[in-house]
Amino acid sequence: MPRAIAWSALVAALLVPAPVVRAAAATSVRMGSSPQTTIFPNDRFTVTDGRQLTNRRVNLPLPRCDASNYSLCDGYAMLNQLDGFDLQPRVTIPFSGPIRVNSITDDSVYVTGRDGRTGLTQLVWDPATSTLAGITKEFLREGTTYSIVVTSRVRDASGRGIDACGDRCEVRFTTRTATSELERIRRALDDGSAYAAAGITRADRTAEFTAAEVPTVFPAGSVTQIQHFWQTYADPRRPLDTDTGDALVPNTVAGAGTYAFGNFYAPRYQYRSSSFHEDSLNGLTDGEIPAVPSRQTPRPFGKDRLGFVLVLPAGTPPAAGWPVAVYGPGFTRSKYDVFVSADQNAARGIATIATDPAGHSFGPNGVVMVNQGPVATTFPTYGRGRDLDGDGRIGDGLNDGVGPTDHKTVDTGGRVVADRPSRKTLDGLRSGLIQTVADNMAMVRMIEAGVDVPGVGKDVLRRTGISYYGISFGGIYGSMLMGTDTHLQVGVLNVPGGPIVDIARLSGFRGDLADKLRVSRPNLLNGGPGRDGFTESIPGRPEAPITRPFRGAIALQESFASSNWYERSGSPESFTPLIRLRPLRGAPEKRVIFQSAYGDQTVPNPTAGTIYRAGALFDRVTYYRNDKTPTYGTDPHGFLADPRLAGREQGQTQMIEFIASGGTSVIDPDGGGPIFEVPVAVRTDLDCLHYPDPQTGRAPDPQPFPVSGDCH
């Protein structure tokens, strides 16, 4: 080929543009128009509402609703009453494609506000929708605007920085004011408006020591037995439960001089229908305290006569009256547990008083029999349970008065043939916990008004310096009480935790939660390996992210997050910040201690860690190391009251010393030994279950002397 032709061909070839090879589009953050297609929570899903303290109200779009999914729609309708988003929200971030989950750090994704920034924990990546979810590491401040920030430090599947709205995506959201409801109830009790609205006279607010015209005060030494006859059937014609196994022999309470069974009236905020089965999405549901705009004060529906048990020390009352401790019974327990827990109090000259939690002590027709040798005195016990689920039975909590519940249809043989969910699906235990706190606040004010006990004297209880201690459920609503009530200063909160959904899914109550999931529309049970027919795929706080969630797990996570969001107004983690971090106006300095038990299988350690972290209270936590005792194989939850557990005597000694000192003395009841840590030595120990996670399908199997902080 001639040289000229070759050269011209080469020049021509060089002038032809090469094919363009384009880089694959970078993964980006989706910023769509629905909660599922944009960063959430997000103030774009609110509307202006001057009735709310935040001047906002949640306005989530409802999905298309029918008979198959109406529980989901009911939940959205309930959330749309609130004045903001959750205080420890489940943050969701949708992407256009896969990411490297290990690139999610406190610097690449975070929530920021007036208190600084916090990252996300308990991360879950959903490959089906390319969505990241996680809860904030810190509990957020109420009624405050925060920003969720997603940066280009997040890496896509190939390791490149994502397209985060150019450099960073940012959305704003406002948290709800969860504690305002109970605070306004407390104010209404203080100014008398709650009593007036409930139709309670000043005389009705004081203690009465007759029941059905029967005197109910007994010298402790004369009582040989106390026996309950519970109303366990809704039909009042059915016989009472006469199980003598529930009898007590309380004259072993050292130092007790008098057992007094009293009653008084308190405002009732829970709605009660005449049929016991009323349930309306847009109206009232039996057992609920209806949500009201946060600038409004809940109004009571009426009044309840509450029974109480009072254990007085022996001897003559001091001139100013005996100091008194209010006791909070646990879940499914009753005011009669005061006999188990008041033994050291009476010996130290401290009176103890207790009333029933909402929905407890079975039905209202039950009676108690006090035996003084051959003489028996019988009088009403003022049980607070009702058959709300329609199965014909009255239990000791959960489905029978604590809050709204499902509704059963039974045949003539008593078998359940149909079951439908409550239309107030997210209420859970919220209403019962709020009511129980209000009841205890009313009882505190009853004491402050003066208590005259026939045969003992007038004004036998000191009107000031009232203290509180509660076990389990009593520690849960006790945390709410200590945060809210400005009339209380000293408290001992034993084995509390929150939120309630986390307690249930990680504990022996998991089966009860499964019952609710089964009845829900749609049925949310998604099968094993998780125990009781569901697997939520939620990692523990110190655990690695889950990147392959079990089928159906995302729906469970969304349901649990919605429940937590709605229930914060009746959940202890919302109130522990009021104890010390942000006390209410007019509140005295709160002197509290908490007691938690290693490997607690009823209120698991991570739920205790949640409420301590929310209130910055770890330095006030005593940790009972049941794993270092001979009883390590037993659930240590009841160690403060159960004489079979090794730590009972020491736990009670610490409690009574704290109460007797007015909250100034926190002793190590083990004298520096290994059984009690005062305070807890390794705070992250309370991030761990210390037994197999129920999501694995394995039964609890506590072992002695594991490495501190081990979550396996």
Decide if pLDDT at 45 tops 60: yes
Q: Can you give the pLDDT at residue 246?
A: 66
- Counting the structural domains of the chain, the total is 1
Query: Do residues 534 and 524 lie in contact, with contact meaning Cβ atoms separated by under 8 Å?
Result: yes
Instruction: Please state the rounded mean pLDDT for residues 460-488.
Output: 98
Q: Can you give the pLDDT at residue 10?
A: 35
Q: Can you give the pLDDT at residue 14?
A: 39
pLDDT tens across 616-647, in order? 999 999 999 999 999 998 999 999 998 889 99
CB atoms within 10 A of CB 193: 15
**Average pLDDT taken over every residue of the chain:** 93
Q: How confident is the model at residue 700 (pLDDT cuts 50, 70, 90)?
A: confident
Cα separation of 89 and 596, whole Å?
25
CA 448 to the chain's CA centroid = 28
CB atoms within 10 A of CB 5: 9
Please indicate, yes or no, if residue 482 is contained in any of the structural domains: no
Cα separation of 592 and 598, whole Å?
20
Q: How confident is the model at residue 571 (pLDDT cuts 50, 70, 90)?
A: very high
Decide if pLDDT at 462 tops 90: yes
Decide if pLDDT at 308 tops 50: yes
Please indicate, yes or no, if residue 315 is contained in any of the structural domains: yes
* Residue whose token pair is 């004491």: 447
Query: Do residues 595 and 495 lie in contact, with contact meaning Cβ atoms separated by under 8 Å?
Result: yes
Residue 294 lies in domain = 180-464
Please indicate, yes or no, if residue 303 is contained in any of the structural domains: yes
pLDDT tens across 483-519, in order? 999 999 999 999 999 999 999 999 999 999 999 999 9
Cα separation of 175 and 632, whole Å?
41
Please indicate, yes or no, if residue 547 is contained in any of the structural domains: no
Instruction: Please state the rounded mean pLDDT for residues 182-207.
Output: 97
Q: Can you give the pLDDT at residue 11?
A: 39
Query: Do residues 294 and 436 lie in contact, with contact meaning Cβ atoms separated by under 8 Å?
Result: no
Q: Can you give the pLDDT at residue 398?
A: 74
Cα angle, residue 463 at apex, residues 461 and 467 outer, rounded to 5°: 85
Instruction: Please state the rounded mean pLDDT for residues 661-677.
Output: 96
Lowest mean pLDDT among 239-253, 379-393, 412-426: 239-253
Query: Do residues 206 and 446 lie in contact, with contact meaning Cβ atoms separated by under 8 Å?
Result: yes
Q: Can you give the pLDDT at residue 253?
A: 79
pLDDT tens across 405-439, in order? 999 999 888 888 999 999 999 999 999 999 999 99
Please indicate, yes or no, if residue 59 is contained in any of the structural domains: no
Query: In terms of Cα–Cα distance, which of 112, 89, 137 is closest to 613?
Result: 137
Taken in order 68, 503, 515, 436, the sign of the CA dihedral is negative
Query: In terms of Cα–Cα distance, which of 672, 692, 649 is closest to 529?
Result: 692
- What is the Rg, in whole angstroms, of the alpha carbon atoms belonging to the chain? 29
Determine the residue type at 452: D
Q: How confident is the model at residue 401 (pLDDT cuts 50, 70, 90)?
A: confident
Q: Can you give the pLDDT at residue 701?
A: 81
Taken in order 525, 527, 533, 538, the sign of the CA dihedral is negative
Q: How confident is the model at residue 608 (pLDDT cuts 50, 70, 90)?
A: very high
Please indicate, yes or no, if residue 666 is contained in any of the structural domains: no
Q: How confident is the model at residue 345 (pLDDT cuts 50, 70, 90)?
A: very high
Q: How confident is the model at residue 343 (pLDDT cuts 50, 70, 90)?
A: confident
Determine the residue type at 685: D
Please indicate, yes or no, if residue 615 is contained in any of the structural domains: no
Cα separation of 324 and 466, whole Å?
6
Cα separation of 712 and 710, whole Å?
6
Q: How confident is the model at residue 13 (pLDDT cuts 50, 70, 90)?
A: very low
Cα separation of 694 and 514, whole Å?
12
In order, the DSSP letters of 516-541 are: HHHHSSS-----SSSGGG-------T
Q: Can you give the pLDDT at residue 8?
A: 42
Residues 6+ apart with CB under 8 A from 609: 541, 683, 686, 687
Helix (H) or strand (E) holding 307: strand 302-313
Instruction: Please state the rounded mean pLDDT for residues 330-354.
Output: 92
692 vs 701 pLDDT, higher one = 692
Instruction: Please state the rounded mean pLDDT for residues 10-38.
Output: 68
Instruction: Please state the rounded mean pLDDT for residues 43-55.
Output: 98
Q: Can you give the pLDDT at residue 618?
A: 98
Helix (H) or strand (E) holding 214: strand 214-215
Q: Can you give the pLDDT at residue 711?
A: 61
Please indicate, yes or no, if residue 446 is contained in any of the structural domains: yes
Is the pTM higher than 0.85? The answer reads: yes
